[in-house]
Amino acid sequence: MLNPRLDLLTDYPFQRLAALLQAPPGGEPLVMSIGEPQHRPPSFVPEILAANAAGWGKYPPMAGTPDFRQAAGGWLCRRFGLAEAAFDPDTQLLPLAGTREGLYQIAQLVIAQAAPGAPPPVVLLPNPFYQVYAGAALLAGAEPVFVPATAETGFLPDFSALPEPVLNRAALAYLCTPANPQGAVAGLARLQEAIRLARRHDFVLAVDECYSEIYDGEAPAGALEACQSLGGGFDRVVVFHSLSKRSSAPGLRSGFVAGDAALIAPFARLRAYGGAAVPMPILAASAALWRDEDHVAVNRAEYRRKIDAAERIFAGRFGFYRPEGGFFLWLDVGDGETAARRLWDRAGIRVLPGAYLARPGADGVNPGRRYIRVALVHDLPSVETALTRMAEVLEA
């Protein structure tokens, strides 16, 4: 009765965490396991939603409004230095109800059914990784190939190190930069290399840039910027952006996909059947958010202060490093599951064992097993108190 491929999706991290942490917490519970931003979106958001309330009574167009496309496309061009003449938001950009569904749907879009007797297409993904990539690959009937993104590889996957036959079977590669959970950023050269590889082996490169605005030092490069620097169009490349992290609006469900027009057009066709169109009031609020950088700078500064606090507390311990982007600490605690249980039992602090975000590699070793992922999403005083307590529990 059910699609048997669903049996492949048995280990969603938060279900595993619920099973691991069944005991009552040993203190006032603080959830640092989920990357749900707790900063406030700007006050103009509810105002615009209210002013556009008549739009709740309309079916929104799947392609969004011209105003939304111009606002999001304008931001993309400003942020990544794209030549406006080379970017057409009407054919190269599509709104999404958050990037999650788009990241899922891109696999539906590009994975063809294997010919009888032929091996299934391959989807390349970093390991550890955002779980939707693997779910999307498996449900589309592809074979996920987990590419190490460990301390040894600079916490990013090196797709070019894969054997030629694997690359030749690849239909899609997911790259996350800044990376969840490790916070590593792929620079322009690395992005260029991934783009060249995708074009040489004829696969689609889906670059998840939803953390691009939460960074510590310089603004991370983007994959469309890398395409431009290679001197051509966006052939085989799409990027995913979201207001969930940039504008602390995860409940708004608003993002977009942009890039190769040859992918965006069929993406719109696919979404006409199975996508959630972004409602008109949300499109209006989203357009205003993409046009405003002030709240983004405030948001980023707040995360920096929390990373500063984390550095004061953890420097020199548990493999602490300042993440280049995103808002997670990726701490080497020896055994992530044991540490997560201890933090919950003794301090009521909920963190995610790194193993739940990864799969065992070719050597049988889960590259996340030594780590915990700590989401710095609460206010600074709460985070500071929790991290201080966390260090005490982990050292004990």
Q: Compute the distance between CA of residue 211 and CA of residue 178 in angstroms, rounded to an integer.
A: 6
Sign of CA dihedral 264, 268, 269, 270: positive
DSSP string for 22-66: -SPPSSS-EE-SS----SPPPTHHHHHHHHTGGGGGSPPPTT--H
Q: Which residues bind ligand PLP (CB under 6 A)?
A: 35, 98-100, 103, 130, 176, 180, 208, 210, 242, 244, 250, 255
Q: C-beta of 118: minimal distance to ligand PLP in Å?
A: 31
Q: Compute the distance between CA of residue 308 and CA of residue 322 in angstroms, rounded to an integer.
A: 8
Q: Which is nearer to ligand PLP, 34 or 49 (CB)?
A: 34
What are the distances in angstroms from CA 312 to CA 215, 293, 315, 326? 18, 29, 6, 18
Q: Which is nearer to ligand PLP, 40 or 317 (CB)?
A: 40
Q: C-beta of 174: minimal distance to ligand PLP in Å?
A: 9
Q: Which is nearer to ligand PLP, 255 or 336 (CB)?
A: 255
Structure tokens given for 79: 């942020």
Sign of CA dihedral 312, 313, 319, 323: negative
Q: Which is nearer to ligand PLP, 42 or 95 (CB)?
A: 95
What are the distances in angstroms from CA 269 to CA 63, 274, 275? 10, 9, 10
Which residues lie closer than 8 Å to 265 by C-beta, 6 or more apart?
A: 91
Q: Which is nearer to ligand PLP, 36 or 335 (CB)?
A: 36
User: Does an H or E element contain 149, and which?
Assistant: none
Q: C-beta of 101: minimal distance to ligand PLP in Å?
A: 7
C-alpha angle 89-94-99 in degrees, rounded to nearest 5: 130
- Is residue 96 within 8 Å of 63, Cβ to Cβ? no
Q: Compute the distance between CA of residue 42 and CA of residue 45 in angstroms, rounded to an integer.
A: 6
- Is residue 337 within 8 Å of 20, Cβ to Cβ? yes
The single-letter code of the amino acid at 64 is G
Q: C-beta of 393: minimal distance to ligand PLP in Å?
A: 26
Q: Which is nearer to ligand PLP, 40 or 58 (CB)?
A: 40
Q: C-beta of 242: minimal distance to ligand PLP in Å?
A: 3
Q: C-beta of 102: minimal distance to ligand PLP in Å?
A: 8
Residue number with the smallest Cβ distance to ligand PLP: 98
Q: Which is nearer to ligand PLP, 99 or 286 (CB)?
A: 99
Where are the strands (E) in 186-266, listed by range?
204-208, 237-242, 255-259
Q: C-beta of 257: minimal distance to ligand PLP in Å?
A: 11
Q: Which is nearer to ligand PLP, 192 or 244 (CB)?
A: 244
Q: C-beta of 211: minimal distance to ligand PLP in Å?
A: 7
Q: Which is nearer to ligand PLP, 65 or 180 (CB)?
A: 180
Q: C-beta of 98: minimal distance to ligand PLP in Å?
A: 3
